[in-house]
Amino acid sequence: MEWKGIKGTVLKDVSMKRYTSMRVGGPAKLLCYPADRQDLAAMARRLNDKGIPYRFLGNGTNVIVSDEGIKEALVRITKMNRLHFTKTPDGAVAEVGGGYSLKRFISECARRGLAGLEKLYWIPGSVGGGIRMNAGSFGQSISDTLTAVDIMNSSGEIIEKQPGKEEFSYRASPVGRSDCVINARFRLRSSDAKKLQEDMDRVYLERKKNHPMEYPSAGSVFKAVGDRSAWWFVDRAGLRGYRIGDACVSEKHTNFIVNLGHARARDIASLIDKIKGEVFSRLGVKLEEEVELWGFNG
């Protein structure tokens, strides 16, 4: 395929083990890194013209790719990571690229004494991925301070949205699966930088205590059911520590599946099916995945 005129980087047949937090997955047909938004639009047009389907990959923290890989092209906007702050009377507006690390962005805000995102600290992934999933923790959601997003849709068209809070819900947003968050704006309030750092330290310690950070994982596997977290159902079904190959339900937090070293994507997918089946059989509850499975039949 001819990439003349493209400023970014295009790689072929790239193993997804390196690019997903679960450390599993076969090759992607193409892995594309646009240099800027014009380059992104040009890449999308080129892929559309050639009839090559594509999807956007953030930091791969919520994705499990099949062992056979995927035939689509993957587009990563990690090079589009501009961060700019504009002061306001009560704080600042932060403008940040969708490919920017969410954890790093929150740290930069706190360092400047800007509050509104500190309880999301240590959630892995990119800003764009966090917006699409409406990332949240400890009673705070990324949509609480979000004011606008620039999105590229599947047609390569770039549009600005100013979504209201009513358009967001638990792990859901108005950003579609085929959309890419290029840029986002947040309105943050002034606070004490030392206090914000203390809040972030507490969040980190709580995550370290309760989450299996010592093993590769894709974070929470299932969505909550009503007001009850999914781990409770998995635990009640007697699946704590249950494993298929090196894919294992975490002993520390049963809504995490961890890779003990040599898990395959099919082991993880089989374990997800096992959990859903056991929870429904024993408790009559249907669990819904929070993680995304790419390249699997169905």
Alpha-carbon distance of 180 to 102, in angstroms, equals 15
Task: Kindly state the average pLDDT of the residues 184-193.
Answer: 98
Tens of pLDDT, residues 91-123: 999 999 999 999 999 999 999 999 999 999 999
Looking at the fold, whether 230 and 282 belong to one and the same domain comes out as yes
Looking at the fold, whether 47 and 91 belong to one and the same domain comes out as no
Tens of pLDDT, residues 46-95: 998 899 999 999 899 999 999 999 999 999 999 888 999 999 999 999 99
Looking at the fold, whether 14 and 55 belong to one and the same domain comes out as yes
Strand partners, 85: 94
* DSSP string across 10-56: EEEEEETTTTSTT----EEEEEEE-SSHHHHHHHHHHHHHTT--EEE
Domain total in the chain: 3
Alpha-carbon distance of 177 to 160, in angstroms, equals 17
Element (H, E) at 253: none
Looking at the fold, whether 203 and 217 belong to one and the same domain comes out as no
What CATH number has the domain bearing residue 266?
3.90.78.10
Looking at the fold, whether 131 and 182 belong to one and the same domain comes out as yes
What CATH number has the domain bearing residue 31?
3.30.43.10
| Catalytic residue list | 171, 220, 290
In a domain, 172, yes or no: yes
Q: Which of 27, 38, 123 is nearest to 74 (CA)?
A: 27
How sure is the predictor about 5, in pLDDT bands with cuts at 50, 70 and 90? confident
Looking at the fold, whether 58 and 102 belong to one and the same domain comes out as no
What is the three-class DSSP state of 243? strand
In a domain, 63, yes or no: yes
In 3-state terms the chain splits into helix, strand, coil percentages (rounded to 5) of 30, 30, 40
Output the pTM of the full model: 0.91
Looking at the fold, whether 196 and 220 belong to one and the same domain comes out as no
Alpha-carbon distance of 256 to 221, in angstroms, equals 6
Question: What domain range is 222 assigned to?
Answer: 212-294
Domain-ending residue, one of 41, 75, 109: 75
Task: Kindly state the average pLDDT of the residues 8-16.
Answer: 95
Residue 85 burial by Cβ neighbours in a 10 Å radius (0-12, 13-18, 19+): middle
User: What is residue 157's predicted lDDT score, i.e. its pLDDT?
Assistant: 85
User: What is residue 104's predicted lDDT score, i.e. its pLDDT?
Assistant: 97
Q: What is the CA radius of gyration of the chain?
A: 20
Residue 2 has pLDDT above 70, yes or no: no
What CATH number has the domain bearing residue 135?
3.30.465.10
